[in-house]
Structure 1
Amino acid sequence: MNKIFYIFLLTLMTTAASAQAQVVNTKAFIEWNPFYSLKWDDFQGKPGEDAAGDAGTSVAIQAKPYMVGKKVQYDVHVLFNKEKSWSRDQSPQLLAHEQLHFDLAEVFARRIRKKIQELEEQNVNEVKAYNKAIQALLEESNEADRQYDMETLHGALDKKQEMWRTKIKEELQQLSAYKKSKRVITAG
């Protein structure tokens, strides 16, 4: 139940073309979506020598900036890394616990998207302001993740696990306006 949590905040891309050049190895990652639940087959990594617990989940919140004209924009993704996620036990309860780590990351991705929208509405166009706000939410995400493991004893406390499942599900619903959407950028 040891959890690995990676967060990336990439440097500003100066053109849309350079942003497109950053391709993710899709075989190694699963992007969060509401229609996919993790399976034990997705945990393809091996635990390190110092790894404790029955499973380790590697999740990344990726905020990729790019420019549209002179306006800063961000793509925010939540990625599960198959090659760095591992398990020693394969119980349904443990898998449900690991899925909630992935879902909790999506909660924070939505909070980031919401914050980005708020900054846009305030006509903020300084990369430093966006990065500072995003970094604060990423730190909050790491703390919430640690708290989730601590309060549920890594999923061993059924009542606490159910409380967190309900909490995360409710927050995903409350933030549904900020779920990832497809965008089409046209040359103009």
Structure 2
Amino acid sequence: MQALILICLLSWQSVQQQPPSIKWSETRKLDWSDFKAKPDPASANAAMTNSIINIEFNFDDNSLDYTISCRFDKNRSWVKVRTVPVLQHEQGHFDIAEIYARKLAKEMSGYKFNPATVKDDVNNIYDRIMKVYQQEQQQYDQQTDFSRNREKQAEWLTRIAADLKSLQAFAGYGKQQIISVKK
């Protein structure tokens, strides 16, 4: 009897320790078990992917340190209709988020550090990238009719894969540092 209790406790602990988000990975694709939120009954959507692109930064007079992340939020993502085309469509949303995390990394790599304006500069770069990102997500849904237009869905998945490949140089966007040039 004690062994059974121990196994149950270990199983409960592993469920409790699962992270509420998933870091984007080329090899780790979304699964329906990742969608933990309750579906929105007022929504006509078959599923909803909540992706987060974040930049955290610190700076002083000499340098800027920043970290970019792209994550899938399990607790804000939900599903009503579990089909392969819908899951591929939702993976497409997460992949588009990764594209824009890489575009953010690309912009940051070209940033000319200015300690007097760095806070506004980084926020402006982020806001500009996120505005285009939101437009791209909406365009993806509209053109694919939320995965129902199979031809457009296939075109978008091909385009997404090509965009990820073209931005591969910016895939390692974890912790970065920009050091100012001393005058």
Q: TM-score, normalised to structure 2's length?
A: 0.80
User: 1:5-44, aligned counterparts within 5 Å?
Assistant: 27-44=19-36
Residue 20 (structure 1) aligns with: none
Whether the 8 Å CA contact 2:67–2:174 is kept in 1: the answer is no
* CA–CA distance in structure 1, aligned partners of residues 39 and 48 of structure 2: 7
Contact preservation (8 Å) 2:67, 2:173: no
Q: 2:94 aligns with which of 73, 97, 102?
A: 102
- Which residue pairs with 2:154 in the alignment? 162
Cα separation, 1, equivalents of 2:21 and 2:109 = 27
Deviation at 1:108, TM superposition (A): 0.3
**Higher-helix-fraction structure:** 2
CA radius of gyration, larger in: 2
Residues in 1 aligned to 2:110 and 2:176: alpha-carbon distance in whole angstroms: 21
Percentage identity across paired residues of the two chains: 26
SS in 2 for 1:75: strand
Structure 1: how far apart are the matches of 2:60 and 2:171?
Answer: 21
Q: CA RMSD in A?
A: 2.0
Poorly superposed stretches of 4+, deviation over 6 Å:
none
Q: Distance in 2 between matches of 1:132 and 1:35?
A: 32
Cα distance in 2 for partners of 1:184, 1:116 equals 9
Which of 172, 177, 187 pairs up with 2:169? Answer: 177
In the alignment, structure 1 residue 57 sits paired with structure 2 residue 46: no
Q: CA contact under 8 A between 1:72 and 1:127: conserved in structure 2?
A: no
Per the TM alignment, residue 69 of structure 1 is displaced from its structure 2 partner at its CA by: 7.1
SS of 1:144's partner is helix
- Residues 78-157 of structure 1 correspond to what in structure 2 (within 5 A)? 78-119=70-111, 122-125=112-115, 126-157=118-149
Equivalent residue in structure 1 for 2:69, among 64, 74, 77: 77
What's the CA shift for 1:184? 9.4
- Amino acid across the alignment from 1:89: V
2:3 alignment partner in structure 1: none
* 1:52 to 1:181, Cα distance in 2 relative to 1, 3 A: same
Q: Aligned to 2:27, what secondary structure does the other structure show?
A: coil
Residue 49 of structure 1, CA deviation: 3.8
Q: Deviations over 1:17-50 (max 9, x none)?
A: xxxxxxxx96110010111000000011102342
Structure-2 change in CA distance of 1:181 and 1:116 (3 Å): closer
Alpha carbons of 1:136 and 1:183: their partners in 2 closer, same or farther (altered >3 Å)? Answer: closer
In the alignment, the residues of structure 2 paired with residue 66 and residue 51 of structure 1 have an alpha-carbon distance, to the nearest angstrom, of 39
Distance 2:26 2:63 in 1: 30
* Residues in 2 aligned to 1:76 and 1:46: alpha-carbon distance in whole angstroms: 28
For residue 73 of structure 1, report the CA deviation from its aligned partner. Answer: 2.4
Stretch of structure 1 that moved more, 26-35 or 103-112: 26-35
Deviation string 1:110-149 (CA, Å, 9 cap, x unpaired) is 0000000001xx3444121121011100010000000000
Equivalent residue pairs, number:
159
